Structure 1
Amino acid sequence: MSRLWKWLFIGLISFFLFACKQNKYPDPTFRYYVNDYADALMQYTERLITAQNAYLYEEYGDIQIVYATFLVEDASEIDKYDRVELFEQWAPGNKETDMGFLVILFIHEYEEDGITFQEILEVQMEPGYGLEEYLTPTEMNIMRDEYLLSDTHYGIIDMKLMQFQYELSNMLYEKVYGEPPIDYDMEEFYDDLMSAPYVQEDTGNTSLLGMLLSILSLNFLGSSFGGSWGVVIILVLLGFGGGFTFIRFKGGGGRSGGRGI
């Protein structure tokens, strides 16, 4: 019996070592939809994008838009990252329809007069197989250059990413589901960004209360408070605020299309 336990223990250790070795990149954060490893975004931006993209996936069941930021010293470090491999590891999108979408922002830090600044050095995107007919490489390149790599919004990364998020969401809502675009105001977003308080978040295990609140907000409160934006507001206030354990989101098991930029 002792020998059996010995071999079971060895097998278990080998399994965990193999599993750890297989993951070349870090696992997604508790938000899943926004993985800010470069610490380039403000909390309000992360929470708002997470709420919007969680609603999109939970309501329609297909598209999962996921963002990641990585800090790099120069362009040569970007070669260490493979967007297809990262997509396969995080697996955004429903595995039946393969409509995941991964956006990677490579962030560079520099100093001026003793102050540290951040800028977007490069952006890569990878759609799932199911999104290839709705989002072409040409469209992705145009959106990347216009919203993320341009000199707009005084170089504020939160502003650039949020406008990209709005435009991308509107494009997919219209093309995939025939839904009208949602109006947005970047000046209003900036005011909210600057005034939003920091909220202490519990990144631990999912609580039953938090899960029930999210289900109710998606299925009942959203229709009572003006559709998608009502749901977004409720998710931000209830699902992502203090006092409730944060719901840990995850990928739906989608596959990469291999035609990203």
Structure 2
Amino acid sequence: MEEGIEKLDLEREPTLDELEEIEQVALVEGAEPAEDPVRMYLREIGRVALLNVDQEMWLSTVREAAKLLADHRRAMRDRLGRPPTHQEVWMALVDNVYTLWQQAVRLCKKRSIDPPEFIALLEEASLLQRTRMPDAESYLRRFLEQENVAEDEQWAELTRVLLDLFTHLYLLPDSTLAYLKKTWQQRGRLPSRRALRSHVPSEEALELEWADVGERAAEAQQHLIQACEGYAKANGSSFEIVHDFEEAA
């Protein structure tokens, strides 16, 4: 190896600059580019498109949805002493939607601002269900980034509540979202919980609806990891940061 390259510490991940320097030396020494693992890695990372803020939020929602669904099932199993039915889980999700929306409205009232448009949240959740990576701008993100609103603990709480609400909406079947939207358009408010529960989907429909939640979450996680690697490459960061993200995610 050339004298200009310092000996690498084998107990740590090499930095991007070190990897690129190794690549240049490998080319000078006649290594085949197609067989050089460093070159192959850098080329692969270069194909990963960096995510915008909307895509990051949507992917995080898809990832967190699987955890949320599992947490509901675990908590209900502990309380009931048996695995819950899909319909019981659906009812728990619906109850949380009502509670979270009421919290959001109350927090907005304290800030003297209008709450977000509920139909817009429904439509965005429905779009995310149908599309892996929507080609649109997030209404929720725009609402949370209002320029005339000072960020403080109260706003942070509203952000948490709305993101949690959005994740719950994403997990509800499209038929449920459609019923909520229709009722809101007709009455300007949510239906009663009793009325909504009369529209509970069948066990079979819910099983099919949630069959790929884990798979979609895994795909979202992989996209986020690849984007993190892309950021590391673009910023010249070490790969250790990427690995820390992957382990913590």
- TM-score bracket, shorter-length normalisation: under 0.3
TM-score, normalised with respect to structure 1: 0.25
TM-score, normalised with respect to structure 2: 0.26
Higher strand residue share: 1
Higher radius of gyration, 1 or 2: 2
